[in-house]
Structure 1
Amino acid sequence: MSALLALALVSTYLSYVLFAIVLAYVLTPVQRRLEEHVRSMTAAILLIVASILVVFIPLAYVLAIAIQQGVTLLTPLQEGEISPDGIQGRLESIGYVVDFELLYETYQEPITDGVQSLALGTLSAVSGLPDVLIGFTVTAFVLFALLRDGDRLLAWLRSVVPIRDGVQRDLLEQLDNLMWASVVGNVAVAAIQAGLIGIGLVVAGIPGVVFLIVATFVLALLPLVGAFGVWVPVSTYLFVIGRPVAGGAFLVYGSVVSASDMYLRPALIGRSGTINVAIIVVGIFGGVVLFGAIGLFIGPVVLGGAKIVLDLSARERGQSTTG
């Protein structure tokens, strides 16, 4: 009964607890280095404070600029400076025929649903700001505990889980590989591609660079979308405003950046081996629905972890049967 109540309590802020676990996974190597010079509690406090000052505050500042630029980019649409008819006319003048009316009629329902969901999500985020602050407080305390006592917690889990030591080692090793691929590797690839697209945006003189870089980073985390979701509209925009050379150059450049995905992922995620694409796709989108933004990283780990557990269970059953 007490275990069920504990699970119910944790589930109220599950996404923030999972966020703390992801951060602890990333920061634990630094924690171990710091512990060589100071006490574990001091190292954990210093690391959390440094992360807030060096990473999270600058990140919040960048996101604020991105939102401001995003609103600025919408101004020409609101004032009618850029209209579907104008874009269609420009495209037809260079030999591309696109019927925006037909496109809108075809995709009217998903477009409307998407806009409504975005509006409701924004309202929910604003109205739930106190809850978010409480959630991040939970994240900070859980992160502190994991950094300071992570080894002892892991040892306790290994002692209470009724699984052989060899199987536990295999499970932890494969989960570590999954975490590396989903958290470290995926974020690194997205950051590199966003940076490369950002350089191209600056060279091309595109407005709202910070907003587009952030959009590229988010889209690059998603399978089947990637940086393609930014450089194609930007290339189209350059063609529409009468800069075909720049548009063509950016089209080629964006294609090269997207193609780099095939080389970057094996280089950065090589230690994890091959991860089934279906696990990544279902894990990411299902994770976002269940856990919010942190589901981008946790979803594939949860789904891949379930597969690992089933594989190890099948292996154990096979060994016990032959034995």
Structure 2
Amino acid sequence: MVPTSLSLKALSRGMLDVLIRAGLIVVLVLFCFEIFRPFRDLMLWSVILAITLYPLQERLMGPLGQKEGRAATVIVLVAIAILMVPIYLLGVSIADSVESAMAAVKSEGIQIPPPSDAVAQWPLIGKPLSALWLQASTDLPGLTAKYIPQIKDVSLGLLGKLAGVGMGFLMFIIALIIAGIFMAYGKAGSNAAVRIASRISGPDKGPQIATLCTATIRAVALGVVGIAFIQMLLVGLGFVFKGVPGAGLLALAVLLLGIMQLPATLITVPVIAYVLATEGANTTTIIFSVFVFVAGLVDNVLKPLLLGRGVDVPMPVVLIGALGGMVTSGILGLFIGPVVLAVGYQLFWQWVEDRPPVEDEY
């Protein structure tokens, strides 16, 4: 009995040591996560950008003397210069809209035409909507004073969203700079990723999983975010050259719709109808309408080329990732969400299909 009791004591002492070590490791991991959490989205987006842009860097390394740092610097500078265009247009559009609204209020006020008799005939909402509309056309100050708390909440929420968009663009540029640093050490980073995947999944499956994650990130980043950005540039340039009111905000809406996998025609068709209704059908408006309509459909041509290169990611996965990322992390999460969820989707199905062989019972 004595040896048995000694072995039980040794076993319990060994288990206690293991539990203490595991507890210390958990505490250390949680502490490290709390420190890293404010930078999580920024670093994720930086890694995604670095993986997506690295093939372009490999092409530029030949003309630039096989210097990874030099090629990464050129890519970052050119990308920032391109990003300045939509940021400038968005800022100018917001400033012009606010200035026009303030000028209208100070000078002659906002004139709202009375509703037509057909509005009251609408089912369910016709009569209350008609009464509210009529009061707005006859006594707008009184109506504003009645709903001032709601108007204040909506205004503050809108200003907060606009500030979030501006901060999102700033974080985007910072992430691009960090991605350039990652690309400057691209080969070392690639080797580290393979080593980590091999340590988690084994030396046989590690390189395969690393390749799958890389292909998924590039396909979704180019096929979703890249196409949406190209679409925003084309449509936004058309809006700016035509002088459409709020061109920057409308271009941003096209970007958001593109990432959420919704058709850009939800924006372009009403704008085309507005331009034709206000300016009539002439050569300029017809050219503008055709260009903007075609630019709104460019994703139908580019998606099969960029999104379907050996990576099968269903569109609902991308949509859920975009919406979930926007809810959890704001404008930056709108870019990160589809990529991260697509990677998780691919890894899950890789795990499902990679079943161990069934051993023969006989």
User: TM (normalized to structure 2)?
Assistant: 0.65
Residue among 119, 141, 148 paired with 2:159 = 119
In structure 1, C-alpha distance between the alignment counterparts of 2:359 and 2:131, rounded to whole Å: 62
Residue among 54, 73, 79 paired with 1:49 = 73
In structure 2, C-alpha distance between the alignment counterparts of 1:228 and 1:290, rounded to whole Å: 27
2:354 is equivalent to residue 321 of structure 1: no
Query: Aligned AA for 1:216?
Result: V
Equivalent position of 1:102 in the other structure: 129
C-alpha displacement of 1:242: 5.2
C-alpha displacement of 1:183: 1.0
Evaluate the alpha carbon distance shift between residue 25 and residue 71 of structure 1 in structure 2; reply closer, same or farther with a 3 A threshold: same
1:5-62 Cα offsets, whole Å, 9 max, x none, are 333332220111012102211232244456668898x622x34433443221452354
**2:199–2:206 Cα contact (<8 Å) kept:** no
Equivalent position of 1:68 in the other structure: 92
Evaluate the alpha carbon distance shift between residue 322 and residue 282 of structure 1 in structure 2; reply closer, same or farther with a 3 A threshold: farther
**2:264–2:297 Cα contact (<8 Å) kept:** no
C-alpha displacement of 1:283: 0.4
1:255-291 Cα offsets, whole Å, 9 max, x none, are 5444443332112323044421220111011112333
2:43 is equivalent to residue 17 of structure 1: yes
In structure 2, C-alpha distance between the alignment counterparts of 1:138 and 1:249, rounded to whole Å: 38
Query: Aligned AA for 2:313?
Result: I
**1:18–1:294 Cα contact (<8 Å) kept:** no
Three-state SS of the structure 2 residue aligned to 1:321 is coil
In structure 2, C-alpha distance between the alignment counterparts of 1:116 and 1:249, rounded to whole Å: 39
2:275 is equivalent to residue 235 of structure 1: no
Equivalent position of 1:185 in the other structure: 223
Equivalent position of 1:261 in the other structure: 299
1:116-145 Cα offsets, whole Å, 9 max, x none, are 43322445788x89xx78x97687457524
Larger Rg: 2
2:313 is equivalent to residue 287 of structure 1: no
Task: Tell me which moved more, 294-303 or 241-250.
Answer: 241-250
Equivalent position of 2:201 in the other structure: 162
Percent identity of paired positions between Structure 1 and Structure 2: 22
C-alpha displacement of 1:304: 2.1
**2:250–2:267 Cα contact (<8 Å) kept:** yes
Three-state SS of the structure 1 residue aligned to 2:354 is helix
2:42 is equivalent to residue 5 of structure 1: no
Equivalent position of 1:95 in the other structure: none
**2:76–2:180 Cα contact (<8 Å) kept:** no
Gaps of 5+ in 1: 93-98
Gaps of 5+ in 2: 1-24, 120-125, 133-146
Three-state SS of the structure 1 residue aligned to 2:261 is coil
**1:189–1:265 Cα contact (<8 Å) kept:** yes
C-alpha displacement of 1:179: 1.5
1:172-200 Cα offsets, whole Å, 9 max, x none, are 34323321232112234224433443464
Evaluate the alpha carbon distance shift between residue 321 and residue 187 of structure 1 in structure 2; reply closer, same or farther with a 3 A threshold: same
Query: Aligned AA for 2:358?
Result: T
C-alpha displacement of 1:249: 7.5
User: TM (normalized to structure 1)?
Assistant: 0.72
In structure 1, C-alpha distance between the alignment counterparts of 2:339 and 2:359, rounded to whole Å: 31
Query: Aligned AA for 1:16?
Result: L
Query: Aligned AA for 2:157?
Result: S
Residue among 27, 33, 47 paired with 2:53 = 27
Query: Aligned AA for 1:25?
Result: I
Alignment length, in residue pairs?
306
